[in-house]
Chain A
Amino acid sequence: MRYVKLKKEKIKEFLLALQDYGELYAPIKVSEKYFDFRKITNEQVDEVVLDYNRTLRPPRRFFFPEKEVLFTFNSKKVEMYENKEAFTSEPVVLFGVHACDIVGLRIMDSRFIDDQPDPYYRARREKGIIIGISCLPDEYCFCNVRRAEFVDSGFDLFLSEVEDGYVIRVGSVKGHKIIDATENLYVEVTKKDSDDLTAFDVKKSKMFTVSGNWDSLRYTLELNDEHPVIWMRESEKCLGCGNCTITCPTCRCYDVKDYPNLDGETGVRVRIWDSCQFREHGLVAGGHNFRPTKESRFKNRYMCKNAYCKEVTTAYCVGCGRCTYFCPAGINYKQNLIEIRGGI
């Protein structure tokens, strides 16, 4: 690995420089409690927040947009024409991604690239630039037990906070090129910085409210598939609104819909994020629903998120805390998992 150091006062310049590599997106404060990755123009670099808790919308949306035209078609000719947008669009430079979200993206990759690549996702992802940043957990975070509190791949650059700046780890050829081109921004990494990094890690690990790892959780969950209380009690509160899955950095479900035009001939085939919390997710022709109740849909998410993701970590959940933070019904996913586990 290659390390350089960026002093705090150079952050702005660094962000401005990043604009040369594509459309820059970074976290900004959008309301009292919320942050979101938004497009950053030259005037907005000051608004970029470096110590946010979590963003409203997950980073996957930059590579797997909420709504995306897959094809335009001509129904008379029965022909479909690939939408080239994903291939021709500007690369996305995503600044300020937390470790858990980087793991989240790699989980997305495992389904969308590793095994028979989805061309749209891959095109966007391969040209995209990911710049990670270190963070400290709040009470919603449990990335540590998900083995997602630290990453050593999946980013181009990673900024780790030290006292007067950031130590940047370079994680890819693209990362090297960015550093090479902006060499004058950096200083050497010192022993003090290295000590700072360790101190930061120590501080961070002490802030987590859970410890160890939850690798065995999926077995516990399976054993509690018929838990007498928790599923019913919690799903009763659920609004079925899908906020948990939409904000989740690793949810991948999508629906495909054809939108015809008024000419009776052409139109678009679109994919839209779906959610297993919606009724139609498990519905098949003839009206049979494999997840007919709110409880069964509710449970499905817990099972999916805790299933084994052998390609990346140990589970599809990275412990970012979004599904609790953004649940209007105040359902505490982390707490529920703890309850099922019977301990932290």
Chain B
Amino acid sequence: MTEELHRRYIPDGQDNLYDTHKCRVLRVYKQTEMDKVFLFRFIDQEVGKNWKFKPGQFVEVSLPGIGEVPISICSSAMRIGFFQLCIRKAGRVTTKIHELKPGDIVGIRGPYGNGFPMEKFFGRNLLLVAAGLGMAPLRSVFLYAIDNRWRFGDITIINSAKYENELLFARELEAMRDIAEAENIQIIQTVTREDSPNRLKGRASEHLDKVMIDPKNSTVALCGPPRMYKSMFEKLVEMNYDPRRIFVTLERRMKCGIGKCGHCNLGNSTSWKYACIDGPVFDYYDIISTPGMLE
């Protein structure tokens, strides 16, 4: 994972930056009623071998005739040639993606975006807070941390959703519980809108006091709907987390993913950012200089 990845938009062997690589769906897993996880492999093995990404980056998934959508990669960055996407059925393109079956082909370009600066996280505790679909990019971070366990301190992940059956990767996290304990990894899963015997109740921010890692020397990554960020941020700072070590990922409308189409712009005239190339991961300094980011 080097910085060099960040600016390389055109994957090898491709001269039109809007062109895609064919990827085959290998498996489809149903996560919840609205979400499915897709496992992809590049059809061109050469491309697949050289294709690397950072946690927090996204790809553009293209279905010719329907459209193209940005989707975060949710699998481990350590597996070469394969990647997973967790996709919520939200509209025209995602509905069609949900109809895909193993063996079907899609077009993929990317990876795009800055991704999380994982090397800056090394040697520190890690707190991951996901709400709803936010779990998708954070899963990638989480898996990365597990794969490189020795590079991190204590790890806590908070996964939240409205309802129990909307919790993403809940079973997977559940299945890891034993190993996690042995590895000093804390898993908190909470639902906000219903009482569930297996889960905690309430928003992620309400369970921050249960987090066992020491705020000092910790890095935090947040991903969820924009409206959760502000209160979360304030609460974390209150709890002595270093604001400069809090990262958020943002969602905006995107058409190109590479800073051309202009839709994902945010901020105001002194801090004019494109979520696709300057983000989607933003840090403290971006947040304080770019109004509207936490809204």
Residues of chain A whose beta carbon lies under 8 Å from any beta carbon of chain B: 70-71, 73-75, 78-80, 82, 111-112, 115-119, 217-219, 221-222, 225, 251-258, 260, 265, 267, 269, 271, 274, 276, 280-286, 288, 290, 300, 302-304, 306-308
B22: Cβ under 8 A from any A Cβ:
yes
If over half of B's interface residues share one DSSP class (helix, strand or loop), that class is named, otherwise mixed; here it is: loop
Tell me the total A-B contact number using a CB cutoff of 8 A: 132
- Cβ-defined contact, B65 with A116, below 8 A: no
Closest A residue to B64 by beta carbon equals A73
Give Cα A235–Cα B66 distance, bound, in whole angstroms. Answer: 35
- Cβ-defined contact, B253 with A252, below 8 A: no
| Contact A112 B269, CB 8 Å, known A78-B105, A80-B19, A260-B65 | no
Interface centre among B22, B255, B258 (most CB of A within 10 A): B255
Number of chain B interface residues as a range: 35 or more
Give Cα A70–Cα B105 distance, bound, in whole angstroms. Answer: 20
Residue in contact with B269 in the complex, picked from A73, A218, A284, CB distance below 8 Å: A218
CB contacts under 8 Å to A, within B238-295, are 251-253, 255-256, 258-263, 265-272, 291-292
List B contacts of A307 (CB < 8 A): 269-270, 272
Closest B residue to A111 by beta carbon equals B260
List A contacts of B19 (CB < 8 A): 71, 80, 82
Closest A residue to B291 by beta carbon equals A225
List A contacts of B253 (CB < 8 A): 280-284, 290
If over half of A's interface residues share one DSSP class (helix, strand or loop), that class is named, otherwise mixed; here it is: mixed
Give Cα A300–Cα B225 distance, bound, in whole angstroms. Answer: 22
How close is A111's CB to chain B, nearest CB, in angstroms? Answer: 6
How close is B72's CB to chain A, nearest CB, in angstroms? Answer: 14
B94: Cβ under 8 A from any A Cβ:
yes
CB contacts under 8 Å to A, within B26-77, are 62-68
Give Cα A74–Cα B20 distance, bound, in whole angstroms. Answer: 13
- Cβ-defined contact, B18 with A284, below 8 A: no
Extra 4 A-B pairs, beta carbons < 8 Å, given A258-B67, A285-B90, A303-B272: A75-B65, A82-B19, A115-B259, A303-B269
Residue in contact with B22 in the complex, picked from A75, A78, A265, CB distance below 8 Å: A78
- Cβ-defined contact, B269 with A306, below 8 A: yes
| Contact A118 B63, CB 8 Å, known A221-B268, A282-B253, A303-B269 | no
B198: Cβ under 8 A from any A Cβ:
no
Closest B residue to A251 by beta carbon equals B262
B17: Cβ under 8 A from any A Cβ:
yes
